[in-house]
Structure 1
Amino acid sequence: MNRRQFLASAAAMPMAAMSLPAIAQTEPDVIRAVTRQIDVKRRSAQVFGLVDRNGRPGWSRRAGEGFAVRLVNETSEPTGIHWHGPTPPWRQDGVPGVSMDPIPPGGSQEFRFPLDRPATHWMHSHLGLQKQALMAAPLIVRPANARDEQEVVILLQDFSFSPAEELLARLMGGPAEMAPQGAAAPSPHGAMGGMGIVDRLRGLVGLGGRGMAMDINDINFDAYLANDRTLDDPEVIAVERRGRVRLRVINGASATGFHLDLGSATGTLVAVDGEDLAEPLRVSTVPIAVAQRADILLDLPEGGGAVPVLFRREGARERTGVILRPPGAAISRLDEMGDSAPPVGVDLEARLRGPAAPARATRTIVMPLTGDMAAYRWGMGDGAPLQVRRGERLEIEMRNSTMMSHPIHLHGHHFQVVAIEGRRFAGALRDTVLVPPMQRVTIAFTAENPGPWPFHCHHLYHQVRGMETLLRYA
């Protein structure tokens, strides 16, 4: 059985993790939603965080041990945390207003479900604009048996010293009081800032016909973070000389796509969104849209020098990253501005391969992605929930009629990318896919996890301004 056949058969098998009764008897780990202080560009900022009992960010266990967590809200605001990547029963999904009520300040809630396969997942607030204030963390499922590799987890985020409510109001072309009630829950400073409609239109005038590029990013942030740090003060991670490193990269930004840049080094892309590729690819750069993840195996060079792992902001020159440092390696200062701006596109997506394509879908749904930049209003279809039946094989063709990219995420399922611009292929399994401006991307999945499931753009400000719907089982 080759790798492709194995993945195809594994995708069709039920989970063999710890049983639900066993998980129900497990003493839960504690994840605390907290308010914390970090330093960004030599300034103090108050942000949120998701940490364990000892203050370490996120959660990690071995495959088969199951997810048993008590989420404790130690902030002064209600919250709700979505477990992004796992496919639990819908009541465990962590989405206020859909699968749960918000957890009040001082309150807590338990979550329990199986996790049977190694994967790079993450967790983040799904309430208002809290995610912009860094209410996110890694959720890592490691192999049951240790591998001969060192793991390096990198969480990418975008940051501004202005609050999220202010940015949303700017995008809508008015004062902060215009931000919709409920869309922008109060959050610590350290949310974000940016440029408004008038600024963007002014920029378009001077572009000599290149106005489309201005729509790659509708927000300019004060900083771009890798594990809470900027490139002028990066995290330096000790690694073994000539060792093998697994980079687990999570784009936890609210509105920024990044491109991994290994420079002269080359790694092997082995998984995306927590799902193994049938055909790993040798890469030196990888686009990672908002909410996507990438696992890259990197063999450190013989020379023993430090290896910068950089991430360039999509459509711009800013960058962030970490440095891998073998013993004795010298570290050079890195400029936060790169030489060029990586473009938007899905060229690599078209090269990724997952399991052999299953039988054609029994039903295809066309989903228009629409928007009005002037009013900053976005939409998916007519807004009505998508009605599905358990067991049916579905394809959804997303048609982006806007001049911005949209990273589209479906809760509760993994889908396969099966076509770009009508060209069919057996693409990667994912939970989030980028739909570029004026393009079509088709995904396929089997409806096998009943419940109402959010289906939305993961650009936070597009989502709260209307680019979301529900997948509802009949």
Structure 2
Amino acid sequence: MPDTAVSRRALLCGSAVGLAGLAHAPSAQSAPMRATAPRTPPVLSGEDITLTIGHGAIRIDGRPARAVTINGGVPGPTLRLRQGQSLRLTVVNDLDEESSIHWHGLLLPFHMDGVPGVSFPGIPPRGRFTYEFPITQTGTYWYHSHSGLQELMGAYGAIVIDPAVPLADSAPDQVPDQVLVLSDHSFTHPARILRNLKVEPGYYNHQPQTFADLIAGRGQTQAQRLEWAAMRMDPTDISDVTGVVLRYLVNGHGVGDNCTVLATPGVPTRLRLVNAGGMTFFNVRIPGVELRVVAADGQDVVPVSVDELQITPGETYDVIVTLPDDAPRTIVAEAMDRSGLARATLAPRPGMAAPVPALRERPLLTMKDMGMDHGASGHSMAGMTMRDGSAAPQVKMGPGVEMIAPMPADRTGDPGLGLEHVGHRVLTYRQLRSPTPIPDARAPTREVEVHLTGAMDRYMWSMDGQTMQQAHEALPMRTGERLRVTLINDTMMAHPIHLHGHIFDLVTGHGVHAPRKHTVNVLPGGKVSFDVTAEPGDWAFHCHLFLHMAMGMMRIVKVRPA
């Protein structure tokens, strides 16, 4: 039985069955590994492509790690496609378990979306499945397995779709491009990571506040610590899987591998950033080099110049950068909790390196992350309760729902956890604007409110207090219906929420020039609204933190004829 034999079906069919499966997952050392050296993912193009999913190993900074590979590598090949083409893509499953590929962000018939048990039966062990669909869009996207623990073990790759009519050489966006797939990988099997979190949710949090911090005046005051302790909340609980157990990668390369991104000094280069991390938010910056954001989730935006951006699991950003001189610069992708980083080098020639900055001080959660902040400094938590369900009557308090944010606020103007006071320009969702009017400018005819719920102390995650294990009721929609979906985060962790098969319009005050996305981050104690036009079929709707989804933060959207 291979290491990856704990299927998502087992994880979603009930906690007793799921944990029983985890308890019997074999050791990651149970079979020999032959690791391959880091390499640049190959590029595949055309109308007939074959991808093969199999067991393998990769080498991270000289050390072998078990992996699920696509065409023998992690990441898998980059698919370079063209708008208007037809695609016939055969996926061969060489595993001894069910597999699948989901085309993240692509607009396609729902039965080609690639989610076992939702949109198709899955690819059986030693079997194959051929996906066929037209390519109707342009931009940067990605693909990954939606089966078992395979995504966490390396089954992912990038997709680049070029315009049907090539841009003129003089067009401002016609610049050389490089794909950077950011990800996380562990020498510990994901099944064991999940089991450790179920036993102790803070298992991988090795950056708690200490008495020495208090004496030195770092972090919270004594009064604040006592308040948070009374609420049974941990202000350092930023990420539940950290650099203690994860290694952070760029195109499969560890920090010591020094992935090189070639650029000509003075000539703009487009970096296509993909966050394929299973559990990691990355803060991306290139010290001394401006990032000009020109696309988000494959959709063009009015260019925004920043010094840093946070990219959540599932998101993509295109940024234009210009190497100012012949000296190399470090591309830093720091984990949100500052427990580690991924690194690449922007350089005119291979073999160059630049200094890697030290990790910055880890951030702390605040009252705003509890949904309690009115904007007044020094506001006390005294007298407030996180266990009052009156603010969200559709959510029932219980073992799997430990809190309801009393005053959730629109936080789309915030830069991301830990980036509020870094002293330079950081991207926010409100800065994003579509350069052209959105395709459907109709006003929504109804609103759907979805609460993101959970209980960190039991490592349980849900939507509206119900998990997929509890046979969650589907969200009903009608084909062509225009809806407003409001996501309210009632937990102390950020959640990147992905809706399959749709590109939605964020409600950030830009009207018909609203930014368009397929994945949106909802900060703790925050809320986000988007307008969407329902496409026919059954679609997955879930948190893109892999273990949060696996533990229940997932719904099915059923879109039926009007």
Q: Deviations over 1:110-156 (max 9, x none)?
A: 11111133211101011122111011111221234265422110111
Partner of 1:18: none
TM-score (norm 2): 0.70
Question: Are the structure 2 counterparts of residues 457 and 27 from structure 1 closer, same or farther at C-alpha, using a change threshold of 3 Å?
Answer: closer
User: Residue 442 and residue 347 in structure 1: after superposition, are their counterparts in 2 closer, same or farther (change >3 A)?
Assistant: farther
Counterpart position of 1:84: 104
Q: Distance in 2 between matches of 1:349 and 1:341?
A: 23
1:294 aligns with 2:377: no
Residues 204 and 237 (structure 1), Cα distance of their counterparts in 2 relative to 1, 3 Å cut: closer
Tell me the residue number matched to 1:401. Answer: 490
- 2:185 aligned with 1:159, yes or no? yes
Q: Which one-letter code corresponds to 2:331 in the other structure?
A: V
Amino acid at match of 1:443: F
Matched, 1:428 2:515: yes
**2:503 maps to 1:414:** yes
> Once the 2 structures are TM-superposed, how far is the Cα of residue 237 of structure 1 from its aligned partner?
2.8
Q: TM-score, normalised by structure 1?
A: 0.82
Secondary structure in structure 2 of the residue aligned to 1:462: helix
Please state how far the C-alpha of 1:329 moved relative to its aligned partner.
8.4
Shift of 1:52: 8.5
1:350 aligns with 2:355: no
1:28 maps to 2:33: no
- Unpaired segments of 5 or more residues in structure 1? 1-25, 174-194
Partner SS for 1:242: coil
Q: 1:59 aligns with which of 67, 76, 79?
A: 79
Taking the aligned partners of 2:207 and 2:329, their CA distance within structure 1 comes to: 40
Distance in structure 2 (CA, Å) of the matches to 1:311 and 1:304:
22
Within-5 A mapping of 1:68-467: 68-144=88-164, 145=166, 148-173=174-199, 196-197=201-202, 203=208, 208=220, 209=225, 212-220=234-242, 221-277=245-301, 279-301=302-324, 303-327=325-349, 330-334=352-356, 337-341=358-362, 344=417, 348-354=428-434, 355-356=436-437, 358-381=441-464, 382=466, 383-419=472-508, 427-447=514-534, 449-467=535-553
Gaps of 5+ in 2: 1-45, 212-218, 364-415, 420-425, 467-471
Q: Which moved more, 1:314-323 or 1:161-170?
A: 314-323
Distance 2:248 2:194 in 1: 19
1:213, 1:315 within 8 Å by CA — same for their partners in 2? Answer: no
Instruction: Check the 8 A contact 2:56/2:72 in 1, yes or no.
Output: no
Shift of residue 92, structure 1, vs aligned partner: 0.3
Q: What is the distance in 2 between the residues matched to 1:229 and 1:84?
A: 23
Say if 2:102 and 2:115, in contact at 8 Å, map to a contact too: yes
Distance 1:122 1:443, change over 3 A: same
Q: Partner amino acid for 1:353?
A: R
Q: Which amino acid in the other structure matches residue 162 of structure 1? A: T
Counterpart residue identity of residue 282, structure 2: F
Give 1:103 shift. 1.1
Question: Cα gap change, 1:215/1:67 in structure 2, threshold over 3 Å: closer, same or farther?
Answer: farther
The alpha-carbon distance between structure 1 residues 325 and 201, as it changes in their structure 2 partners (threshold 3 A), is: closer
- Aligned residue type for 1:275: Q
CA separation of 1:450/1:199 partners in 2, compared to 1, >3 Å: closer, same or farther? closer
Larger deviation, residues 80-89 vs 107-116: 107-116
Q: Which residue of 2 aligns with 1:186?
A: none
SS at 2:143 equivalent: strand
SS at match of 2:56: strand
In 2, the alpha carbon distance for the partners of 1:42 and 1:64 equals 42
Between stretches 118-127 and 139-148, larger displacement belongs to 139-148
- Residue 356 of structure 1: CA displacement? 4.3
User: Are 1:204 and 1:214, in contact at CA under 8 Å, matched by a contact in 2?
Assistant: yes
SS at match of 2:195: helix
Equivalent pair of 1:317/1:340 in contact (CA under 8 Å): no
* Contact 2:498/2:518 (8 A) holds in 1: yes
Distance 1:431 1:56, change over 3 A: closer
User: How far 1:370 moved relative to its partner?
Assistant: 0.6
When residues 434 and 328 of structure 1 are mapped into structure 2, their CA distance, relative to the original with a 3 A threshold, is: closer
Distance in 2, Cα, partners of 1:205 & 1:394: 47
Which residue pairs with 2:11 in the alignment?
none
User: What is the CA RMSD across the aligned residues, in angstroms?
Assistant: 2.6
Deviation at 1:324, TM superposition (A): 2.0
Q: Is 2:461–2:552's contact at 8 Å kept on the other side of the alignment?
A: yes
After TM superposition, the structure 1 stretch with the greater mean CA deviation from structure 2, 104-113 or 233-242, is 233-242
> 1:5 maps to which residue?
none
C-alpha change, 1:410 and 1:369, in structure 2 (3 Å) is same
Displacement of 1:441 in angstroms is 0.6
Aligned partner letter, 2:485: I
Shift of the alpha carbon at 1:340? 4.1
